[in-house]
Structure 1
């Protein structure tokens, strides 16, 4: 009696397809664009607290998992950001969730709904931006203005530190730091003041892993996403990348 071979799982069928990518130049088509985009983000974010430079091969693995050279989106939306029902592009471009801190200045204004959905180089940059936005930790803090001059303010009747800060274009945190002894204000008192505002800043970064990418980029929609990323990354690390002009 013949032993029946169990049907292949969805992951095993995916593996068969991805194995054919090794050595196929089509699957390396975005290597140079990915390397360039990752370098732009790394240069922009290197000064933020605890940032570890992003590995471009990890992004290539995401592109292989998200799309792949045999799908039509490969030539328009290789990272799938901006597809119907995906909130990622809106989250990134709105600036309400930290995207304004993540995007390199040269790409602000260039990444639009239309360009992200139609130009692969822009889609790749939007995908990387969304990933990094979801990996950063943020807080609202007082940030000094470019005007670093220390001004003097005279307390008037009814004044409080908060009232003075608002009137002078500063924050109560900066006022307290400059005037540590100003617990109880009195009219005629002289206080120091600097221009400042409360802004969102990046305070730290999550450690980027395939599991975290599955959670925060894919949103858990594909239960095999992290497993696919690990497999694709292992193939990519063994293979040859496209030669890119320096």
Structure 2
């Protein structure tokens, strides 16, 4: 007859698994955040569906992350289930600052509503910002010209003081790429005073040009701040029950 190891001799990982197994036997607990996760992921999928190479996020990835990040036995389960916004965690400010592309990720209806304070106190907003940060890290960005959606095509006259594309772009509030796009037959060497060029208001912004393929190793590397490699073991264990 096999001798069962005492609880004192069991590893922290085995004890953690016991908690996951116990939760799995309680549907009300195990599925507690499913509806909120689904609503959040659906909103992101609608918003990002037109971006290059986007594959709809499977909501079950988020369920796996939540159960690894907190789990129903953690005090944070009812307030910060995705653990984004903890002291020392840069993820929340990275997303909401817009400097790393978060303004491209967060759906327009949530901009201004998702704040550092709401993400730390409202569990639904914690999930929304957590999913947003994960997607921001999964996106591939580059700088490109973005035309002001309300701008019209206008004309500017080349002068002796305004005689190169960089100066013209700077003085008209557009970009060199926009000038080249609207005036494809004109080269910099051909610019002469009194020549008219078309332009639109535009700026250089971070845009999405592709996406990484989500995996447990990428979640560990890009979402889990200051974590250990055991995080992947935990993700894989929870995926046995609910993963995509």
Same fold per superposition (TM over 0.5): yes
Give the equivalent residue in structure 2 for 1:73: 76
Matched, 1:223 2:226: no
The C-alpha deviation readout for 1:110-133, integer Å capped at 9, x for no partner, is 111221111111111111011111
- What secondary structure is seen at the aligned counterpart in 2 of 1:21? helix
Give the equivalent residue in structure 1 for 2:219: 213
Give the equivalent residue in structure 2 for 1:9: 11
Q: For residues 217 and 226 of structure 2, what CA distance do their matches in structure 1 show?
A: 10
> Counterparts in 2 of 1:1-246, with a 5 A limit?
7-24=9-26, 25-147=28-150, 149-158=152-161, 159-180=163-184, 181-184=186-189, 185-219=191-225, 221-237=227-243
Structure 1 length as normaliser, TM-score? Answer: 0.89
The C-alpha deviation readout for 1:8-46, integer Å capped at 9, x for no partner, is 332222212211121312121111011111101111111
Taking a change above 3 Å as real, the CA distance of residues 230 and 164 of structure 1, as seen in their structure-2 partners, is same
Q: For residues 79 and 107 of structure 2, what CA distance do their matches in structure 1 show?
A: 22
- What secondary structure is seen at the aligned counterpart in 1 of 2:23? coil
Structure 2 length as normaliser, TM-score? Answer: 0.90
Q: For residues 63 and 174 of structure 1, what CA distance do their matches in structure 2 show?
A: 44
Paired residues, what number?
Answer: 237
The C-alpha deviation readout for 1:39-82, integer Å capped at 9, x for no partner, is 01111111111111111111001110000111111110011111
The C-alpha deviation readout for 1:177-206, integer Å capped at 9, x for no partner, is 233332312212232223322111111111
Q: Could you list the runs of 5+ residues in structure 1 that have no partner in the other structure? A: 239-246
> What is the aligned-residue RMSD (CA, Å)?
2.1
- What secondary structure is seen at the aligned counterpart in 1 of 2:221? helix
Q: Could you list the runs of 5+ residues in structure 2 that have no partner in the other structure? A: none
1:147 CA drift (Å): 4.4
- What secondary structure is seen at the aligned counterpart in 2 of 1:200? strand
